[in-house]
Each structure stands twice: as C-alpha cells, then as structure tokens.
A = this chain, B = another copy of it.
Amino acid sequence: MTTEVPASRSTPAGTPTLETVAALAGVSRSTVSRVINDSPKVTPEALAAVNKAIEELGYVPNRAARSLASRRTQAIALVIPENTARFFADPYFASVIQGAALRLAATDYTLTLLIASETDPEKSRRYLQSGNVDGALILSHHSDDRSYVALSRTLPVVFGGRPERHDDGPEPVYVDVDNTAAARDVVSLLVASGRRHIATIAGPTDMTAGLDRLEGWQSAMSDAGLPSHLVEHGDFTPASGAAAMERLLARGEPIDGLFAASAQMADGALSVLRQRGLVVPRDLGVVTFDDDYFAARATPPLTTVNQDEGEVGRTMAELLMRSIEGEDVPRVTIMPTRLINRRSQ
C-alpha cells in the first residue's frame, strides 16, 4: 500500500526490526530511525504512529547494528585496577561506582567493566583504543600508569581523583576533592585539642590522594610548629593500617595524636591500639578521612572528612558524556568536603 515491501522474508517472526515497525506504522525505515534517535523533524502524527508500533511490537533497537552504522558504541568503560576485590571493598570506590552507574543507567550508555591488568597494561589500552567504547572512566590511577593519561589524547576520558601529570602528556579531565586542604583542616582539630606528638598513617606514595593528604598533614604540623617525622605508609586497607600503627608504636616515641589517611586504615590502627590497651581519645586523639562505615562505626566513632562519593561518580559520568558529545568540559572539578567532628581527637 505505502511501501511495497519486496517479499522481504528477512524478518518473518523473529525479534521485530526497524523494518517491521516501519511497516506497521506505515512509514519508511528512515522515519522510524529518526523517532528512535529523537530527531526534531518528525510530524507529530508520524511520531505517534511509530511510537504506537514500537510499543505494540515491543521493539528494541539492535545495539550492534546501530553502533556499526553510527560508529558509536554507546558503551563506556569503567577502568579499575587489577585487585578488584580490594578495590571494591573500599567503600569510597564502591560509592563512586554506584554514583556513575546510576547516572548512566538513566541513559543509553552501557558500562563495561575493564580490569586493568598490571602485568599486561597494553591489553586494556588496546581495548580502549580500538573503538570498543566511546569513552572511559578511570579510577584509582597509580601515578606510574602514564598510559592512561596519554589515552586522553585519543579517547574521551575522565579520571576519578587527580592523576599525576606527565611532562608532555595531555591535560587530563578529573573530579576530585581538595585532599590537601581537607587533611590540613582535620589535623588542625587534633592540634587544637592540644596534641603535640601527632603521627600519620599516610596512603600509598603512588596515589595522589595519598600524597595530598600527607601534604595536608605536614602543612598543619608546620603551621603549628610541630615536627613531622612520625610517618608510616599504608595502602588504604585496614590491614595496612594495622601494620603501620605497629611500626609507629615500635618507634618508641611518644604519640598523642594520629591522622590516618583513610578510615579503613584508621580501623586497622584502632584494633592495634585496642590490643595495647590504649584508649581513644583519652590516650591519643585520632582523626581520619572518609565518612564511611569504618569511621562512623569505629570504637570510638571518628572525627573525619566527609565527601559525597556518589556525587563524584555522577559528575564523572556527566562530564564524560558531555565530552563524548564533543562538548568542552572543565579539566578540573573539585567537589566540596565537610568536617565531621565526633570528638575523637
């Protein structure tokens, strides 16, 4: 009647295709395509007819075909480090991912989990470069993974946390909080409580969050005219926090204050202190970073820095999508933090 479908036995009864919809709606495939991609130039009538047909047939566009024709994959990679279990177990990352995933769930983008193999970093790079995804969200970027920063040159990429810049590398887009300032502020609370022998369990030296928080601690110490040699490093896990605390105590120097760069490490440290019969905040004040379960439910609950991790993830997704769309996005987005005073200092 309208379009002479030429004995097209191509789609007899299988899943409906764009063509099936077109036939039912009495329009051409192009029009259906326009509706799907909500092009503005479609008459209300056509639009209604098509939508009705789509509804009736329960039509869902085929991703592969779409992606092949449009040269966009509608997929975003979530690049996370190899030790996924440890990574996920950190409430910080879990929340960031949730934020990003929920934002993306409201769109047509798909989130592809990409484990960055440390033994074969080339593999991920190849995957990302080969048009498998439209962009990438990169979390917990060790500063020696320069290749990821370089990636920004050929693929829209957004980092969670400031990646380390490398001389000739491009300016990466990232979302972060002001770790240095927040750490300085929370340590100042310790100082204000009269603590004078303040140690820190710092994060890993190959992550900017760790370095920045350490810098914040140092800055607060020097502002107060206090020495800053009581430093031990952990890797943000509770176990590493416990080990660091033991090393700190083993030094035999007086300690009356502690800043752990993550609540998980603080938790590990507390278990050691408890074992030694040391009571917080009576014997020493403890403050930390991240307002998660570990900080809130510690014995005692800890004074800490709160940040909205979900919002970080949401923002990362948002920036990436805009960047994919060709928009110019800000290189740096700093999210706010808040001091949570639980009197553990």
Given A88-B88, A242-B297, A275-B299, verify A68-B64 contact (CB < 8 Å). Answer: yes
Q: Is A113 within 8 A of B115, CB to CB?
A: no
Tell whether A89 is near chain B: CB-to-CB under 8 Å: yes
Q: Does A10 contact B (CB under 8 A)?
A: no
- Complex interface: chain B residues within 8 A of A274 (CB): 299
Query: In the bound complex, do residue B98 and residue A94 qualify as a contact, i.e. CB atoms below 8 Å apart?
Result: no
A126 vs chain B, min Cβ distance (A): 6
A297, B238: Cβ atoms under 8 Å?
A: yes
Known: A112-B111, A130-B15. A85 touches B78 (CB 8 A): no
Q: Check: A262 CB closer than 8 A to any chain B CB.
A: no
Per-residue interface assignment for chain A, residues 152 to 179, with 1 indicating a CB less than 8 Å from any chain B CB and 0 otherwise: 0000000000000000000000000000
Task: Check if A113 sits within 8 Å of B101, measured CB to CB.
Answer: yes
* A271 and B297 within 8 A (CB): yes
Q: A30 interface residue, CB < 8 Å from B?
A: no
Q: Are the C-beta atoms of A131 and B15 separated by less than 8 Å?
A: yes
Contact at A85–B98, with CB atoms within 8 Å?
yes
Give A87 to B88 CA distance when docked, in angstroms.
9
Indicate whether A132 reaches chain B with its CB closer than 8 angstroms.
yes
Chain B proximity mask over A101-140: 1 for CB below 8 Å, otherwise 0: 1100100001111010100000000100011100000000
Q: Say yes or no: B275 contacts A89, CB within 8 Å.
A: no
Q: Are A293 and B64 in contact (CB under 8 A)?
A: no
Q: Which residues of A from 54 to 83 have beta carbons under 8 Å from B?
A: 60, 62-65, 67-68, 73, 75, 78, 83
Query: Which A residues contact B (CB, under 8 angstroms)?
Result: 15, 60, 62-65, 67-68, 73, 75, 78, 83-89, 91, 93-95, 97-98, 101-102, 105, 110-113, 115, 117, 126, 130-132, 237-239, 242, 267-268, 271, 274-275, 293, 297-299, 309-310
Q: Which 5 A-B pairs have the closest CB atoms?
A: A88-B94, A84-B98, A64-B67, A60-B130, A85-B98
